[in-house]
Amino acid sequence: MLYDSAYLGKPFAQGVCEILGKFVTVQIANHSELLYL
């Protein structure tokens, strides 16, 4: 999943984990770092 910098670290990852029922790792990238395909 890609999200902007308004979604931060552990609290966001825990919320996604609760919804998906799986362990997740969150990595935040600046818009300029994203590669559009």
**What pLDDT, in 10s, does the model give residues 20-37?**
887 777 676 777 777 765
Tokens coding 22 = 């799986």
Residue 17 pLDDT grade (very low, low, confident, very high; cuts 50, 70, 90):
confident
Distance CA(37)–CA(13), nearest Å, equals 25
Cβ contacts of residue 2 below 8 Å, gap of 6+?
Answer: 29, 34
| For the chain, domain boundaries | 1-37
Cβ contacts of residue 6 below 8 Å, gap of 6+?
Answer: none
pLDDT at site 18: 87
